[in-house]
Structure 1
Amino acid sequence: MRRHQRRESRRIEVSEFWPEITRFTAEWLGHALSTVGADRAAAEEAIGRLYGLLGKPPPEFVWIGSPGAVGEVLEPSLVTLGFDAKWPLASRIATLISDMRQGLDAYLSHLDLSEVDRAVLVPLRETVRTGVADRIRAELTTGYGLYWYGQQDADWVANYELCQQVLGVQYDHDDAERLLLLAQIVRSCGWWWPRDAVCVIAERPLALRTAEGKLHSDSGPALLYPDGWAVHCWHGARVPAWVIENPTVEAIAAESNIEVRRCAIEHLGWPNYIEQAGLRLIDRADDPGNPGCELRLYEDRPKWKTRILLAVNGSAERDGTRRWYGLRVPPWFDDPLEAAGWSYGLTAHQYSRLLRRT
């Protein structure tokens, strides 16, 4: 059983370490989003040493071109968390990592790391785990047992390393050794699936495109791997390839998912969509909440039982332009001002008295 001395709680002031924290976070974000080919020797060494900690010889390493290719090597499994009787070594590695994290947390328990978490852990988690790893996982429709994210485990690994290397926290020797191995894996490769005699490791992507911190590309895959496996995203939303490569009115009309339709229309452009779909203009009016701009109310396709209010964004984009956007509103509105007011929870009269909307 681990024993840790009880220590007085101490708050960490981020300002004391801000230059080092900024550098450290940027470095780990670079590892997490790297599109450089995997350092296979470093990844295999670190994983082999993890096997050694469990009394096992290094496995046979099988490299695949993307997470999507894992089904070419492993059989499907219903187990993704917890003990897996079919592949007990993966469960043992999970226990080893869990024990390590509990040990590291004990060394940090006397510190108030709230500001550090906001500066490091939260941004990395939102950008890398939520923004990238979750999109990849959603693309994998079949489970293949326990696995780890490799470079996209950067959020929690970086957090522990920062406390050690920047804040000067001294960890237990065994926990520090395990953390060192996991950090080497994050710096070296993509997703990995450890099994008793074999470990499957995915290459890092060839291309990873983002906009404002979210996976996004308006001309092709946001994520592209060496074997051609790809993930398409529109401002962080995972979408079918056609939304990015060939958004058409016909494809939009056939799509049942409202979020996918929204992304496709945004890519096509609301004015273009309305024109190409031949939607009938019901009425138009000056926008009192956005001086110099106009509100336009259109009929939508009958099966969706809505109408579309077309308006100009109240604030400029980064390039200085102000884009048109569409809002779906209930089908009983005939007045653009009433529809605009409804979207803000206001009456038409109240909306007409706005000085400026955002």
Structure 2
Amino acid sequence: MTTPAAPAPLPAELADHLTAAARRWRDTARTAGPADRTAAELGVRRAYRNAGLPEPERIVWLASPAQGALAAALLVGDANTVRTFHEAGLTAHIGPVLTALTPRTPGDPTSEPPSTLTPPHSSSASPGNAPDPIAAPDTVAAPGIIAGLESVAAPGAVAALDPIAAPGTVAGLETVAAPGTVAALDPIAAPGVIAGLETVAAPGTVAAPGAVAAPNTTAAPGTVAPATTAAPEATDAPEATADPDILVAQLNDLRAIAGASVRHAVRNLPWERARAAAATSLGTVAWPRAWALTGDLLWPEVNTLAADLRRAIGNLPQSATTGDTYSAPRVDGRDTDDDAAALLREQAGSLLRQATLDAVLGQHEAPWLALFDGLTAHATARPDGGTGAPDSSMGALDGLAQVAKAAGWWWPFERLAIVCERPADLHLDDLGRLHRADGPAMGFPDGFALHAWHGMPVPASFGVAMAGLDAKRIQAQENAELRRVMLEHYGYERYLAESGAKPTHEDETGVLWRIDLADDEPVVMVEVVNSTPEPDGTSRTYFLRVPPWVTRAREGVAWTFGVSEQEYQPEKQT
């Protein structure tokens, strides 16, 4: 009986182009700084044309995706939406959004709505950032193909969104999993694999001809992207009325001007067709391998960033009263303030989160755009000009790619497009998670910000609290998650010394320590002495974290070696 031959790997040149594209789009997803508005608007108009739609009559810029989600929710909502936002305390946030959405009189020097942003700077376009040449006919998605997904839920939960035209196709969803969860990857990857979801990404910016500019900055792990934007500039925008009936009347007029959402036509259908064409050209073996080199690599980090943004946008109603997008935990299953007010905020937050599902994610579309960028680069690099190369159908995606390289999230409507700035600054740890101790990990020009410690949301005041940390303050912290962060920052060894902790067991292998914490599992550590002396002759002491069920020092040391207590019999401990 012969053994089947292993599937052939991707051609080396194709693999190289895909790998390079993944690097470019990872940089795009991490880019912070002012949008290249000229390039982004050209991309928006091209995306509409590619979808067979008239170009939008107006393109409105907003300072953050929080403002964008609020605007989108108001444009697709009704009188109840307005009243919910008003009663949840978001009236002050509605003012700048209404001002931006309201058309000015033609010929008026203020015909473009005032922005809360500093004047935009174009990004310099280097050959490495310029869009790759694209050309490939659109193809209709074959029945049974699962479309670019999108949903906000716990891992495994899927929320149905735009219906998909082709029979048997599951529609443009968007799965946003918790950090560390790998949500559906690419649809055509392999049997049972769900695919090509909506994520987060975008490479450098593409400057329009004649645009001169300051370069964008990419936030590498542990580094800081430019923090040039703090408080928004003052504008002469009128304050929002406190009368919800007047707001309803104003928004009825604006809805008629904007028209319905066209995200499905502008984003989902071109993606489905391009994916179907590329999958057919590459075949069932090469397609998942191409995805593995691009979208599969970028998805966890970019999707987590998008999920973090959605969470913070959903918490915007709380920030109206606390000034902080951190969601405070509940005590004994109940809200810490008035139940009716909390319910209103939850309803308003739900409307905002739903609005984020109608967004095109700009730079956070990076994972799937990287795949088609790599395929296009490979095709155009061939001596035959791409004849016979895998069909990427990138031609229909070039507008989306151009916006992704130049701006943040955006919402397409029939006659109006809402485009948002990218983060003004961005701080990530070495795993690509939001992380900063002394300020916002992600901040936008209007002051909307996310605070995080190694990916875990924390209050805005948390950095200040960390500066004056001591054992008593750690013990007094009621939130178990924040207490763990404090312990990590403070140091377990230092906490043991200052908290009066006592050893629970000791033998020839080491000393076992236990720290009991309220509403959390205990911290158990084994103290060991390195048997190999340091160059100066001293022996270094280490504290090793072990599971809370460990009760003996030898048991803990054995666990660190992956063996049982009985099996742990070292001839010499190192």
Instruction: Using structure 2 for the length normalisation, give the TM-score.
Output: 0.49
Query: Secondary structure of 1:329's partner?
Result: coil
Please say which of residues 183-192 and 200-209 is displaced more in the overlay: 200-209
Structure of higher RCO (CA pairs closer than 8 Å, 6+ residues apart)? 2
- Structure-2 residue corresponding to 1:107: 281
Counterpart contact for 2:425–2:443, Cα < 8 Å = yes
Query: Secondary structure of 1:214's partner?
Result: coil
Q: Which amino acid in structure 2 is aligned with residue 152 of structure 1?
A: H
Counterparts in 2 of 1:157 and 1:277: CA distance versus 1, 3 Å:
same
- Structure-1 residue corresponding to 2:369: 157
Distance in 2 of aligned mates of 1:129 and 1:302: 33
Q: CA-to-partner distance for each residue in 1:267-321, whole Å, 9 max, x for gaps?
A: 222223334444333344564xxxxxx544124135546352255799xxxxxx9
Counterpart contact for 1:252–1:264, Cα < 8 Å = no
- Structure-2 residue corresponding to 1:7: none
Q: Which amino acid in structure 1 is aligned with residue 525 of structure 2?
A: L
Counterpart contact for 1:12–1:113, Cα < 8 Å = no
What is the aligned residue count?
329
- Structure-1 residue corresponding to 2:522: 306
Residue 57 (1) aligns with residue 55 (2): yes
How do 1:39-78 and structure 2 match up within 5 A?
39-52=36-49, 53-75=51-73
Residue in structure 2 matching 1:269, options 491, 497, 506: 491
Counterparts in 2 of 1:295 and 1:99: CA distance versus 1, 3 Å:
farther
Instruction: Using structure 1 for the length normalisation, give the TM-score.
Output: 0.75
Query: Secondary structure of 1:193's partner?
Result: strand
- Structure with greater helix percent: 1
Distance in 2 of aligned mates of 1:159 and 1:201: 24
Distance in 2 of aligned mates of 1:263 and 1:164: 44
How do 1:281-292 and structure 2 match up within 5 A?
281-284=503-506, 287=509
- Structure-1 residue corresponding to 2:426: 208
Q: CA-to-partner distance for each residue in 1:94-141, whole Å, 9 max, x for gaps?
A: 4423344334433333661444333323222233234x2232223232
Residue 254 (1) aligns with residue 477 (2): yes
- Structure-1 residue corresponding to 2:451: 232
Residue in structure 2 matching 1:184, options 383, 391, 402: 402
Counterpart contact for 2:451–2:459, Cα < 8 Å = yes
Distance in 2 of aligned mates of 1:312 and 1:137: 44
Query: Secondary structure of 1:196's partner?
Result: coil
Please say which of residues 275-284 and 25-34 is displaced more in the overlay: 275-284
Counterpart contact for 2:37–2:406, Cα < 8 Å = yes
Moved over 6 A (4+): 76-80, 354-357
Please say which of residues 221-230 and 304-313 is displaced more in the overlay: 304-313
Residue in structure 2 matching 1:82, options 141, 158, 161: 161
- Structure-2 residue corresponding to 1:92: 265
Query: Secondary structure of 2:566's partner?
Result: helix
How do 1:339-350 and structure 2 match up within 5 A?
339-341=556-558, 346-350=563-567
1:157 positional shift: 0.7
CA RMSD of aligned residues (A): 3.7
- Structure-2 residue corresponding to 1:290: none
Q: Which amino acid in structure 2 is aligned with residue 154 of structure 1?
A: A
Q: CA-to-partner distance for each residue in 1:154-194, whole Å, 9 max, x for gaps?
A: 1111101211221543548xx43321111111111111122
Distance in 2 of aligned mates of 1:155 and 1:99: 17
Q: Which amino acid in structure 2 is aligned with residue 271 of structure 1?
A: E
Q: Percent identity?
A: 22
1:33 positional shift: 1.1
- Structure-1 residue corresponding to 2:552: 335
Gaps of 5+ in 1: 1-9, 288-293, 315-320
Residue 32 (1) aligns with residue 25 (2): no
1:46 positional shift: 1.6
Distance in 1 of aligned mates of 2:295 and 2:265: 26
Residue 127 (1) aligns with residue 301 (2): yes
Distance in 1 of aligned mates of 2:57 and 2:526: 59
Q: Which amino acid in structure 1 is aligned with residue 477 of structure 2?
A: A
Counterpart contact for 2:516–2:522, Cα < 8 Å = yes
- Structure-2 residue corresponding to 1:13: 10
- Structure-1 residue corresponding to 2:358: 146
Counterparts in 2 of 1:68 and 1:253: CA distance versus 1, 3 Å:
farther
Counterpart contact for 1:68–1:140, Cα < 8 Å = yes
Gaps of 5+ in 2: 1-6, 78-149, 152-159, 164-258, 315-348, 380-385, 531-539
Counterpart contact for 1:40–1:188, Cα < 8 Å = yes
Please say which of residues 136-145 and 90-99 is displaced more in the overlay: 90-99
Q: CA-to-partner distance for each residue in 1:61-85, whole Å, 9 max, x for gaps?
A: 222222233354232679965239x
